[in-house]
Each structure stands twice: as C-alpha cells, then as structure tokens.
Amino acid sequence: MKWVSAIAAIVSLFLAAAPANATIRVVNVGNNFFNPINLTVNPGDTVRWTRIAGVHTSTSTGASTKDWNSGIIGSTPFDVQFVLADGPGPFPYLCSVHGVSMSGSISINIPPPCCVGNRGDINDDGNDATILDLNYLVNDIFRGGPPSPCPEEADLNNDSSPSTILDLNFLVNDIFRGGPSAPACP
C-alpha cells in the first residue's frame, strides 16, 4: 500500500509537468481544396478536417490500409487519429463530391527502428531511463499521450507488453530507489 501511494504521489507530481499531448492537426476544407494538401503527422496525432466553405467530404481512396469517410462535413469537424501501427502511409484521400481534383494525403512520421538505444529510453532521446521517460510513460498511460516511438524500449520489465503500470513501477523503482535497470534489448 505504501508502494502504491508513493507511485500515486509521483504520478500526480508528473501529471502537472507532463509534456504536450498528441496534437490535433487541422486540415481546412474549402472550395475546392484541402489545406494543407499533404500533411505529415506524428504517431498518435489526430487529423481534424474543418469545413470553411462548400459541400465536401474527406474520403480515403482505398489505396492504403487505412480507410475513412466523413460524409458531408458540416459544422462539426471530422477527426481521424493516426497511430504508429498504421505505418508511414501516405494515406491518400479525396472529396467524394469533387473527385480527384480535390484531393490530399496524410503521412505518418515513423521513427527509426526500435531498440537501437537502451531499453528504458521510452521517449527515444538516446538516453537511458530518465525523468523525461517517466513523464512520457505517465502521459501515455494516464493521459492518452502518444505511445513510445520504440515499443520495445518502453517494455522496461521485458514482459512483451510495453507501457503498462508494471513498466511504470519498474521505472520508478529504477530511478528513485536504486532498483535494477531495464534489461538490454535483444
């Protein structure tokens, strides 16, 4: 119980200082264009198509693995989240009212291969487990922040399921209590 409340205290400390969350990236939908036409986002970001004029949709072309169709976009914007597992894209789309003359694409900025650094380097900044990694992990687990760019590096206890409370336990124990460091990547 003492252990749990210690973690809760630390977590609440870091909630206040947690870094920016996954962001919302706006694509304006006008007559007859998307702006920007081509947009690259980070894993976890949400693309928000926002109508500024006319009658339009955001509709994936079917040429990629990710499909969406907004229908006619009204006063409520249309959101799609792009995650690491979607792959880099590009994900082409068009307006189903105006066809290929009104089209665009989304790409995802995929980070370099995993486990090139140290396990525990959750934010992939090239350093071993630090407070910044703890920030990142808390943000991921409790606030819907982006998952680690390197899932293997986020799996601190090497149980094949990254970014869980058990990894948070492990990291807190490592940083604050002189507990064991995360095992090396394979």
Nearer to Cu ion, 49 or 136 (CB): 49
Judge residue 37's burial from the number of C-beta atoms within 10 Å of its C-beta, 0-12 exposed, 13-18 middle, 19 or more buried. exposed
Q: How far is the CB of 98 from Cu ion (least distance, A)?
A: 4
Q: How far is the CB of 91 from Cu ion (least distance, A)?
A: 18
Q: How far is the CB of 73 from Cu ion (least distance, A)?
A: 9
Q: How far is the CB of 163 from Cu ion (least distance, A)?
A: 39
CA distances to 12, 15, 150, 178 from 138, rounded to whole Å, are: 9, 7, 16, 20
- In the numeric block, the tokens 């990694």 are attached to 133
Residues that bind Cu ion (CB under 5 A): 56, 95, 97-98, 102
Strand order across the 91-95 sheet: 38-41, 99-108, 91-95, 59-60
Nearer to Cu ion, 78 or 170 (CB): 78
Nearer to Cu ion, 70 or 135 (CB): 70
Nearer to Cu ion, 51 or 119 (CB): 51
- Contacting residues for 140 by C-beta, under 8 A, at least 6 apart: 122, 146, 147, 148, 154, 163
